[in-house]
Amino acid sequence: MVKELILRKNEISEPVETIYFGGGTPSLLTIDELQLLIDTVYQNYPIIDNPEITLEANPDDLSQLSFRTSQTEGLTQVRNLYDAYRQLGINRLSIGIQSFFEEDLQFMNRAHTAHEALNCLKEATQYFDNITVDLIYGIPNLSTEKWRENLQMVFDLGINHLSSYALTVEPKTALANFINSGKYPPIDEALALEHFNILVEESKKQGFIQYEISNFGKENYFSKHNTAYWQGKPYLGIGPSAHSFNGKTRSWNVSNNALYLKSIAQNELPSESETLSKEELFNETIMTGLRTIWGVDLNKIESDFGIIYKTQLLKQAEKHIRQGTLEIILDKKTSILKITQKGLFLSDGIAADLFVL
């Protein structure tokens, strides 16, 4: 990965604003390994002052009393793992809690316990102000009362960002087999919708802003990294299976570790790429824009894609505007197409209805 970072250093000209350790379980990396990767980025890329550096982690990794290191130099007066992360420059943690109830964690086959989930957050908040947690809703047998308790736990801990997603069942997984065999009840979409509405209502009471359908942050705590994805900014992905985007072309590394290593050893990039068509870029702009608080800028649609695309978009949007699931916000300079509160849970279907095929 260090070598790939060096091989690709000419792909980025604009200063790097965010560094994100995610996908898989990067909290398994030693402090030395994290230090090496961060140093390599700083040595080979232009970086803004104080970039957002996020580490995804599982509670069971964070609950350890000591950190994994071999010969790290420069870390002074390190008290624990959180302190070591901070001294590396990591300033944001994304912790995969999912639920504070043991039965839910067992249902989702999570490695950590409810006790570890609570304890790691209690300790993490002593060292990090910028923490986001993941919670899953729509879990069979998760009552609305228990869902409210999950949310209240996050609020009581003083967490400033929350990402929450409906449980999905992927084919050929253990969960899919359990549901198909009748061991677990099937996913209840009505229950998921009820949970989602509670999530929106309760987070708003606590001062959270729903700036993306599944993401809630207090003022100044929005994820800068994820926001860049939704706004179509270029990004560089490093490692097996990682995806990159330069504004027009998407590339992705091979998922096979052995092939990845072989290519890098030969100074070759182990990736494939595709150039997105005008239609594909338009559809992605609609999909990501409608998911966010910023919506779709109709003036930008016209300047980037042309009046024909804008006209067709408005025509396709008419029925959703009549149904109250879309709205157009006008002021002196802008014209924004946005999802309404009524349409939030239906956003993917609405966006697909606006696509150019």
Predicted pLDDT of residue 331: 83
Residues 6+ apart with CB under 8 A from 303: none
Predicted pLDDT of residue 183: 79
Per-residue pLDDT of the chain (357 residues; tens, 9 = 90+): 999 999 999 999 899 999 999 987 898 888 999 999 999 999 999 999 999 999 999 998 886 544 554 445 556 556 688 989 999 999 999 999 999 999 999 888 888 999 999 999 999 999 999 999 999 999 988 999 999 999 999 999 999 999 999 998 888 887 788 788 887 788 888 999 999 999 999 999 999 999 999 999 999 999 999 999 999 999 999 999 999 999 999 999 999 999 999 999 999 999 999 999 999 999 999 999 999 999 999 999 999 999 999 999 999 999 999 999 999 999 888 899 999 999 998 999 999 999 998
Q: Measured between alpha carbons, how far is 4 from 6 in angstroms, rounded to an integer? A: 5
CB atoms inside a 10 Å sphere around CB 3 = 13
Domain with CATH 1.10.10.920 in the chain: 278-353
Report the sign of the C-alpha dihedral through residues 36, 41, 44, 48, in that order: negative
Predicted pLDDT of residue 78: 61
Q: Measured between alpha carbons, how far is 154 from 163 in angstroms, rounded to an integer? A: 11
Domain with CATH 3.30.750.200 in the chain: 2-230
Given a contact cutoff of 8 angstroms between Cβ atoms, the answer to whether 213 and 288 are in contact is no
Predicted pLDDT of residue 79: 67
Predicted pLDDT of residue 314: 97
Predicted pLDDT of residue 192: 93
Q: Which CATH architecture has domain 2-230?
A: 2-Layer Sandwich (3.30)
Report the sign of the C-alpha dihedral through residues 207, 101, 164, 17, in that order: positive
For residue 118, the one-letter residue type is L
Class level of CATH domain 278-353: mainly alpha
Structure tokens at 286: 């609609």
Predicted pLDDT of residue 333: 85
Structure tokens at 57: 């982690």
Nearest partner of 250 among 234, 227, 264, 226, judged by Cα: 234
Q: Measured between alpha carbons, how far is 306 from 316 in angstroms, rounded to an integer? A: 16
